[in-house]
Every structure is written in structure tokens, then in C-alpha cells.
Structure 1
Amino acid sequence: MTLPIITNKIGVIVDSFQVGVKEGLLKAQQVGADGVQMYAVHGELDPANLSAAARKEWKAYIDGLGLDISALVGDLGGHGFQDPAQNREKIDKSKRIMELGMELGTNIITTHIGIVPSDKNGRVYETMHMACEELARFAKDMNGYFAIETGPETSAHLKSFLDGLGTKGVAVNFDPANMVMVTGDDPVQGVYMLKDYIVHTHAKDGLKLGPIDPRDVYGDYGYEVTLDHEQIAVMAESGSAFREVPLGEGGVDWPAYLKALQEISYTGYLTIEREVGTNPEADISKAVQFLKGFRA
């Protein structure tokens, strides 16, 4: 295959540097990223903690570094939007994160909504559908997107769920490594399947080492196993079922994957995520250079 020549901007998840937001932004600039994605669910960028003046200060600081914001992370954990008792609070917070994103210069909020059940007539499916319908309407009214990260289910099943929402305010944050590591779904075919919904991507790589139930990674409403972000990272670094590895060293066929993104006319960010490893800065720097290798 002739290597694709990409024009996509390259982003970095600031939190992957594990040094705090401001220092992470500086490191993103230093490794040559065009933009950044940042967590906005707690800590320094929790909308509840930011005054109007503080929001302007953050925007000015990021602009001063010459960085764009590719998206904000709005993943609120737990079982996503599967639990009706928690959904009102989670939906409202998601809306506040969307408003913050708009003020900082991005209209994309990435999130996990929980594993989409196979039973379309079940209560959990209905609960998730209702929550996403409300979020989709809110996003559409703001010309924005809540982008579901791929991984917990196949691309075909996710597309079926999205098709039922009636608007593209809830879209897709495409993570090829999650598909490789957990469901074993083909990211290249996934791009074509979800082509109408992809608004953001994560650049990550991984290997599938053995069978695994997606519920053991992402949790599920009523399922006993519930892992937090750090526990999932440990699983990805030393578990027996899958392994996250540096970009270009895993099961993602990058030439074919990037070519597929070109063919669906995706022009958005390739945002590097590194959730494991003892030297994330070195891994991220190599990942930036790996992706720049596909530029003319």
C-alpha cells in the first residue's frame, strides 16, 4: 500500500503527561503538537470551579502557547448513562462541560456512555437512549458534539444506536486501539461504518492478547465488576487480555486506518492518548513524530 499523506492536525491529551494541566500544556507545545485535549470533569478545569475570569485566563494561556483545543474530556465514569438515578446529575454536568468547551474554543466533548446493550427493548437501552437524545438536542442547539469513544461494542452496534437518536449532536470519538484490544473489531472497517458520525479521534495503539468480556473493562449496570480509570490503565499495562503499546507497535494498521479516514473526508484531529508506561513524555514525543511521518 502507498502510504497516505495526511494533513490532519496532531493533538495530545494533556493529562497523559501526568504533570498537571499547565505543565502538560507546555509539554504538548514542546513535543510539537498542534492542539490538546483536556479533562474537564474534576480539578482545575471542572466547570463548577471556574469563574468567568478564570475561563478567560485559561483561554488566553492556551492561545498564548499557540495551541488549539481539539476537545474536552467529559467522561463522568461509573456506568456512563445507564443508571437512571444518576442521569439527571450527569446530563446537567455534561451540559456545563459543553458550555465550557465553547468558551475555550472547542465544540467537541468526548465521553463514555456505557456499553450499549444488545436488547433494544430493555430498560438500560431505553435509559441510555433518553439521556443521549437530550444531550444530542442540547449539542445540536449549540452546534456542538458529545462524542462517544469507541471500544465497548462493535462499530455496527454503535451505529445502530446512533441512528436511532435522530440528530448527530451525539457523535463519535474514534479510538482504534480500544477496538483492537477489547472487541477485536477492525478499526478500518469501523471508520467506514461510522463515517457519518466521526468528529474526533484518539491516536493510540494496542494488542489483543486473549479473550475478555467488555464488561470487565468498562463495567455495566448491574454487573459486579466496576473499575476506575487507574485500574483500567493497570490492566492495559500488565493484564493478560490486552496491552496498550506505543504508536505503531500494536495491532492498528496505521496506513490503512489513516487512508480510511482520508476516504471518508475526515479532516479533524488525531489526538494522542497514552495511558500507561513509565515515560509518557518520551512515548508521546515519539507518537507525534510517528504521525508526522505521514505528512508530506
Structure 2
Amino acid sequence: MLVLTGFADEISDRLEEQLDVLVSEGISYLELRSVYGKNVLELTDDELVRLKSALYKKGVRVSSIGSPIGKYPIQDPFTPELEKLKRASDIAKQLDARYIRVFSYYIPENEEPENYRGEVLSRMKMLTGKAEEEHLTLLMENESGVYGDTVERCLNILQHCDSPCLRLAFDPGNFVMNRVMPMREAYPQLSTYLEYVHIKDADQQSRMFVPAGEGDGEFPAFVKALKERSFSGFLSIEPHLHRAFPEQEGPERFKIAAQALKRLLLKEGLAWS
């Protein structure tokens, strides 16, 4: 069965409001990116205890640590990234999560990504090795502007690292923003590595994120493909709807995104928890 989760920090800065909206939508997981006004990796041990207690009281668990690892220029020093991964691993274990979201480093503007291929692959291999030691799985997001924002370069990384501890957080909306068709181009080549999904859709012409199924992300075909492979992983709602619905607040935008996804799942007869 599919499991719904989401970036609850797009609902509100307040944890209580985040959890209330999740529960109202029947969602019992969140992807932890920021809370208490700070990034997840900046949380103190005391704040983690407080967070875990609040989650337990609401019956909500953590699907993934939404870390910023790899969301930095490739020329930046690498040692701090290893320190961030160690902290992310500790937090994941404290919160009973087995996934950590990562990125594949920003390439300097107007430079060829190929010039940085070796450094990117080296860093991603080292991060993956650390994840193997911790018995955790890194989820690489196909973020715009990083090395792995195309199908070919995602494959470069995944094939080079060749580890079950590095999988793909497949983001249809981000592929659209990079003029890659998620189903016609990305999914056929990357489906083997897909273990987690970020639910974002995008309109290529307006360059704007929209609810799932309302853009160029080929969501009906994507959901059908998930059904055909009996996918039972996480679908993580990441609305990014501030431009599409500027008149709405965070809770309403999250509900719009969640309900759009549910309509697509219902149309394919898919159940979720």
C-alpha cells in the first residue's frame, strides 16, 4: 500500500499546526526539513526529545530527514558535508527514520556539468559509503541546478555508487522545470532506482508548480506506472504552491496539494495509508 507523507513545514512554522493539518488529511508521516524555526540538522538533542514526544502524541512518524546535504556549490569544502551527514544519521535513528534526502551539488553558472563530474561522483560515493556504515538510505533528489538534474547525470551518480543505500527521490515537477518529460524520458531509465516520490507537478510554459495532475508532469501515467509495479513506498507531498495560489495560506495550499494527489490515486483504484 502507498504511504502518504509530506513536507509539513510548508503548512506552517508551528509544529502543532503542521500536525493538525496532516492528521486532518489522514496523513501519519512527515518529511522533516525544518521545525521550530530552524533546519532539521540544527535541532538540539533537547528539541529532538520534545519533537519526538509531540509526534508520538499525534500518531505521526518521520518518513525521511529532509536534509540540505549536497545543496551547496561543488567548490565548497566537503568535510562539513560529512559532518552534516553524521548529524542527519543520528537524528534519523533518534526519530526511527531510515531515509535521508540529499542533493548532488550545484554546478557553477554557465559552466559545463561534465567538468565537475569526477568531483560529484567522488563526493556522492563517499556519502553513500557513510550511509552504508550507518545502515541508512540516502534519497537523491533531482533538484534543478545540481549535477543530477537530468536523466543522464542521475544515472551517472546512481550507477557509479551502485548501492542500495543510494536511491532516487523521483520528483516529476523538478524534471519538468528542467524540460525533461517525467514519464516519456525519465521514468523508463530511472525506475530501477526509484524508492521514494516527491509529489510536485509543474507547468512548463509558466515555470510554475501546480497541484499534481494539473501540469506537464504526466501524473496520470505516472500513478498508473506505480500501480503496475505495486509500488508501496512513500509519496511525499511538497506543494510549492505559493505562486499558483497566492491568496491561500500554507494549510490551505497543503490541503489542495494533498487532495489533488488523492484524486489521482482514487482514479487508479489505489489505496493509501
| TM-based fold match above 0.5 | yes
Over the aligned positions, Cα root-mean-square deviation in angstroms equals 2.5
Q: Which amino acid aligns with 1:64?
A: K
The residue that corresponds to 2:81 in the other structure is 90
The residue that corresponds to 1:114 in the other structure is 105
Distance 2:184 2:22 in 1: 28
Q: 189, 195, 205: which is aligned to 1:193?
A: 189
Q: 224, 233, 252: which is aligned to 1:268?
A: 233
Question: Any conservation in 2 of the 1:32–1:288 contact (CA below 8 Å)?
Answer: no
The residue that corresponds to 1:35 in the other structure is 29
1:131 aligns with 2:127: no
Q: 141, 154, 158: which is aligned to 1:158?
A: 154
Deviation at 1:42, TM superposition (A): 9.1
**Residues 177 and 115 of structure 1: CA distance in aligned 2, closer, same or farther (over 3 Å):** same
Question: Any conservation in 2 of the 1:135–1:169 contact (CA below 8 Å)?
Answer: no
Question: Any conservation in 2 of the 1:155–1:185 contact (CA below 8 Å)?
Answer: no
Give the 5 Å matches for 1:211-290. Answer: 242-277=207-242, 278=246, 279=248, 280-290=250-260
Deviation at 1:207, TM superposition (A): 0.8
Q: Which amino acid aligns with 1:18?
A: S
- Deviates most, 272-281 or 183-192: 183-192
1:19 aligns with 2:13: yes
- TM-score if structure 1 supplies the norm length? 0.76
Distance 2:34 2:88 in 1: 7
- TM-score if structure 2 supplies the norm length? 0.82
Give the secondary-structure state (helix, strand or coil) at the position aligned to 1:11.
strand
Deviation at 1:44, TM superposition (A): 4.4
The residue that corresponds to 2:65 in the other structure is 72
The residue that corresponds to 1:102 in the other structure is 93
Give the secondary-structure state (helix, strand or coil) at the position aligned to 1:79.
coil
Cα distance per residue 1:201-248 (max 9 Å; x no partner)? 111111111xxxxxxxxxxxxxxxxxxxxxxxxxxxxxx6x1111232
Structure 1 segments, 4+ long, off by >4 Å, are: 40-45, 115-118
Distance 2:85 2:50 in 1: 22
Distance 2:60 2:101 in 1: 19
Q: Which amino acid aligns with 2:23?
A: Q
Question: Any conservation in 2 of the 1:41–1:47 contact (CA below 8 Å)?
Answer: no
Question: Any conservation in 1 of the 2:13–2:37 contact (CA below 8 Å)?
Answer: no
The residue that corresponds to 1:292 in the other structure is 262
Q: 169, 172, 189: which is aligned to 1:173?
A: 169
Q: Which amino acid aligns with 2:65?
A: L
Deviation at 1:22, TM superposition (A): 3.6
1:183 aligns with 2:179: yes
- Deviates most, 199-208 or 283-292: 283-292
Gaps of 5+ in 2: none
Aligned length: 253
Distance 1:285 1:48 in 2: 28
Distance 2:141 2:126 in 1: 18
Deviation at 1:265, TM superposition (A): 4.1
Question: Any conservation in 1 of the 2:29–2:60 contact (CA below 8 Å)?
Answer: yes
Cα distance per residue 1:73-103 (max 9 Å; x no partner)? 11147535x12x4211022112211220121
